[in-house]
Amino acid sequence: MRAEPNQVHGGEHLGARSFHLAADAGCFADAARQFLRKRGLSSVEALGQTAILSERRLALFCSVRCPGEIIVLAYDLALALRSADATVVGGFHSPMEKECLTVLLRGKQPVIVCTARSVETMRIPSGWREPLASGRLLVLSPFAKGERRVTAELAEERNEFVAALADEVLVAYAEPGGKLEELGRVILARGQPLLVLDSPANSHLIEMGARAVTPATFLQR
């Protein structure tokens, strides 16, 4: 998957280059199309190279608060994903998710960022310019143009969309009893592979049926 480089200017709004991608497009997984139909959406806002959606995709999540051990493991995981040229999709909103995105964007593999608001008035972050120009970054938003602020409800919906886009999901850490653990139950219920970092902090997820992995074993798959 390669794309012709495009000039991306600093300070430019994402909406200046975005386009609408039909909800029934064949590039979307069945779960993603079902998510969009359930919400009455006929399209999503997109910016970047849609050919990335033809790659096998791994969703990455991590709760806002996480133990120190998870921080180290998650950073090692991001490095492993970059080495494996894995196509990673995420909202990249929590602190650890943002750190992982920074690591991934320094690599050469495709990345999909799903925002929890419309991209209409979002400015292009400096770290996104080169990946967008080289065709290895895709930005998606399943929200209307009027949604200009991130809310807890929109973030929850965005995470559902991220999981629906993916072939498999990897949770670095989910706070017990939190929304991410609840999403994990939904993922398992529909038969989607759910992976978690191998740590005592994730024992509640492993007991649910998630499969434990380490950064090293992920590279060996």
Burial class (CB in 10 A: 0-12, 13-18, 19+), 123: middle
Which is it for strands 57-61 and 19-22: parallel, antiparallel or unpaired?
Answer: unpaired
Angle at 31 between CA 37 and CA 66, to 5 degrees: 115
pLDDT digits (tens, 9 = 90+) for 73-84: 999 999 999 998
Residue 117: pLDDT band by 50, 70, 90 thresholds? Answer: confident
- The reply to whether 1 falls in a domain is no
Residue 10: pLDDT band by 50, 70, 90 thresholds? Answer: very low
Rg of the Cα trace of the chain? 16
pLDDT digits (tens, 9 = 90+) for 165-199: 999 999 999 999 999 999 999 999 999 999 999 99
Residue 106: count of CB within 10 angstroms of its CB: 13
Q: What is the token pair recorded at 79?
A: 């490095």
> What pLDDT does 153 receive?
86
- The reply to whether 132 falls in a domain is yes
Element (H, E) at 34: helix 30-38
> What pLDDT does 9 receive?
41
| Domain limits for position 68 | 14-219
Helix, strand or coil, per DSSP, at residue 122: coil
The number of domains in the chain is: 1
Q: If we measure between CA atoms, which residue out of 176, 190, 168 comes closest to residue 59?
A: 168
Higher pLDDT, 119 or 7: 119
HSE-CB for 161 with a 13 A CA cutoff: 27
Helix, strand or coil, per DSSP, at residue 205: helix
- The reply to whether 201 falls in a domain is yes
Place of tokens 């024992």: 203
Residues 6+ apart with CB under 8 A from 109: 81, 82, 84, 85, 86, 87, 88, 136
Residue 1: pLDDT band by 50, 70, 90 thresholds? Answer: very low
Which is it for strands 137-141 and 43-48: parallel, antiparallel or unpaired?
Answer: antiparallel
**CATH code where residue 173 lies:** 3.40.50.450
- The reply to whether 175 falls in a domain is yes
Q: Give the residue-averaged pLDDT of 148-163.
A: 85
> What pLDDT does 167 receive?
94
- The reply to whether 3 falls in a domain is no
Contact between 142 and 36 under an 8 Å Cβ cutoff? The reply is: yes
Looking at every residue in the chain, the average pLDDT score rounds to: 87
- The reply to whether 4 falls in a domain is no
- The reply to whether 8 falls in a domain is no
> What pLDDT does 207 receive?
96
Of 2-6, 162-166, 199-203, the one with minimum mean pLDDT is 2-6
